[in-house]
Structure 1
């Protein structure tokens, strides 16, 4: 790998120093760059040693841009990134065209090397570049682990080979799916590589600044490392939502357990909790189906949550939720335990459905909507229930004003449920276990909400707990969700 430094001399001419690192030594060569700028100092200039146009003027006090050097000068056709500081220095880094090449600094330091060097990680307020670099390298390793980096790279190679097949587009649906997945994985890979490259570049810049006694450049690079350190925490969070369908919208379904009115009231409380949570996150919430209880609460209900990464977050809530409280429906004021089951189904979107539904496999039933509807809703048979005969899966919608709207909503729910069943079947075939598909069963409660004799909400999967149940029931779920996502991804996923 080569490294390049451009320097403006006292008479205004430029030189490029090329550092070439081999297995045994590092050597450099110097190339004069005459006519680097045109006579008018325009921002778009040709350099005789470069095969592309420079899009930033070197006349600017500082800035950054990219160019593609010609093989005659630099012996490479790879992309290079340039950085011009206030003293006229430009630092250039070569970006290899192959993802398999591990980026490193000019003296061979890699991200893994930084992480294993055991540099002390101090508080952010401490101005220590090694501390910042170690914290960033540690975050990069966490991100790679959460992305299952080795599996991602293998999958990317398989998809690339698939895309190169000449007959791929004979099946446009399959080709589109392959192309979308390849683009998504490429985006993730490039983003991590770019973050690695930026870290190593700033380390090189600091070392260069110290060699040249450039305190201004060193200060600028230190600030950049501190910014990267703060950004790395956000990137760790983004890596929690790297699943195939995490970016999708979703349906959240709540069903009351055994226990009559008490459980139906609890199911309504759980559904309201998710509505509030979704609205606080800025997601759109639509009630698709709701079957009210005879006295209070709901027997079951389904809402549609529209927004980016709605499924990625909500999937942490799948399972049975248990409530312990003094029952408001018991005249003896005794303590009761209630259960409600939660299911979360991703909405795959157009072109991504896994199951084709034949009209002949459906039984469509129309009935009068129940509950506290309007004058029109309760007097016409606008509610629709669709049964998929081969599987017995049903979907109901009664909250729209027209039968056509209810049918369309019910079909969307049915499609998502059948897609979920297909994902479960494939997961079993691959000996995988998907949390969102296997734990909807009584006795597998994931969280307990205790309102009496003490007040506590505890997640039984992570042991995360809070002593303010009211805030949780009012939609403050993010701490539980992030705790679960972190634990589930970091546990048993040691491969990078």
Structure 2
């Protein structure tokens, strides 16, 4: 444990006890880390000089020492944390924390403690709820895979020639630090739960109702916080915190599908604005009569990609066509792709100027006094891959070129990530097959009203609210279903 709370009965103060201070005050052996065990140094008393304490007995030793401090009348002044112990606990990411009597999160879950309402003052109920949340968080983070990945990154960083390639070394170091931060945060939350359980048991042994009440309140607070942490675990992917581009393209169906594609793009603009994101139109190709053939927007905000990635796929609309004089029912399709914007510091693709073909043309639009009369629109073609990026919405050719280059870079990054992972659907889906059998969601406006996600069966009966940007229910339903479906990743 990084810190242990103990109420000193004589003065009713809460102390953060330092292991070194405890051992000095009680004339106990000072522990040193050695092969992940704590051994007694040579200057200890003969009776314990050669005795070794394994990791599993450290917490028991500390608890006994703390009880002895509790009965002492001498104050122990100590720092909050001791570096000697931080070195040990910092290296124990994979070790399962436990209480002084060996209770772990997994054992709490296996015990089948009943989870009651928050209003019930039952510490086992609160502890079980928090333990269940920790289990869900680890599952969503794919804990076992993270451990394997962390070992690989650690081995890579330990190579003597790693810094011969500073770009690669920096990328590995950043990923290693990010994983360590995520995993330490979960472990700290897990240890906090077990510490509070220890405190309740200790309070009952000492018949200290006030300390027990405080520990119970702390467990209740953890139970409430754990729900927020479950949500955070949905967005634990490497690129989830990034901003993103959302691309919409009309499917087969002419004007009907172009009008539907325009409605979908408006839906995402409103969704981004509802969440407080900055939404910018990067490129838009209008249809001949109505709607759009395709469009790209940039959504800039925290976890924009993490949320928007749930929208990747084909969206299907059923309605009475406003373009059909006979008022017949029509089915339209539009495809959505979501691309993370990684930034210059972490992009996996290097672009050579010689691989680019830059074309300039006059921006399209509705005309009138604001019609663009200069060749300021820019199209950039990456010759080796054939990937194209266009921007015509900025005020100058220079700005359009910069925006188009950013879109091109993100598309190439996406292509490289898909190639490396061999899981193209994890990042985006192809916009080429926008027809029956590929849709992820149906929007029905006639003969009844309903929007249904075909991946999760989540549905609502108010299409207007969805088309006005109320997508969080669909997004959360998909993310939780996608992350919770596989038990093997825990």
User: What TM-score does the superposition give when structure 1 sets the normalisation length?
Assistant: 0.84
Q: How does 1:276-355 map to 2 (within 5 A)?
A: 276-355=270-349
Query: Quick check: 1:78–1:97 contact (8 Å CA) kept in 2?
Result: no
Distance 2:392 2:3 in 1: 66
Q: How does 1:191-340 map to 2 (within 5 A)?
A: 191-340=185-334
Query: Quick check: 1:449–1:458 contact (8 Å CA) kept in 2?
Result: yes
Is the helix fraction higher in 1 or 2?
2
Distance 1:8 1:310 in 2: 48
Query: Quick check: 1:79–1:96 contact (8 Å CA) kept in 2?
Result: yes
Gap change, CA 1:7 and 1:400, over 3 Å in 2: closer
Residue number in structure 2 paired with 1:384: 378
Distance 2:287 2:463 in 1: 24
The C-alpha deviation readout for 1:155-204, integer Å capped at 9, x for no partner, is 11221222222322221111111111011101110110010011001111
Q: How does 1:113-192 map to 2 (within 5 A)?
A: 113-192=107-186
Distance 1:389 1:410 in 2: 15
Distance 2:117 2:428 in 1: 42
The C-alpha deviation readout for 1:40-88, integer Å capped at 9, x for no partner, is xxxxxxx5xxxxx63xxxxxxxxxxx2328xxxxxxx3149xxxxxxxx
The C-alpha deviation readout for 1:86-107, integer Å capped at 9, x for no partner, is xxxxxxxx95742232111111
Query: RCO (CA 8 Å, sep 6+): is it higher in 1 or 2?
Result: 2
Larger deviation, residues 155-164 vs 235-244: 155-164
- Aligned residue pairs total 448
Distance 2:266 2:253 in 1: 19
Query: Quick check: 2:451–2:459 contact (8 Å CA) kept in 1?
Result: yes
Gap change, CA 1:450 and 1:188, over 3 Å in 2: same
1:478 to 472, 477, 480: 472
Distance 1:238 1:490 in 2: 14
Gap change, CA 1:6 and 1:241, over 3 Å in 2: closer
Gap change, CA 1:204 and 1:471, over 3 Å in 2: same
Gap change, CA 1:10 and 1:398, over 3 Å in 2: closer
The C-alpha deviation readout for 1:28-47, integer Å capped at 9, x for no partner, is 4546989757xxxxxxxxx5
Query: Quick check: 1:376–1:401 contact (8 Å CA) kept in 2?
Result: no
Measured after TM superposition, the shift of residue 466 of structure 1 is 0.6
User: What TM-score does the superposition give when structure 2 sets the normalisation length?
Assistant: 0.85
Query: Quick check: 2:379–2:404 contact (8 Å CA) kept in 1?
Result: yes
Distance 1:235 1:4 in 2: 23
Could you tell me which runs of 5 or more consecutive residues in structure 1 were left unpaired when the two chains were aligned.
38-46, 48-52, 55-65, 70-76, 81-93
Measured after TM superposition, the shift of residue 492 of structure 1 is 2.3
Is the strand fraction higher in 1 or 2?
1
RMSD over equivalenced CA pairs, Å = 2.9
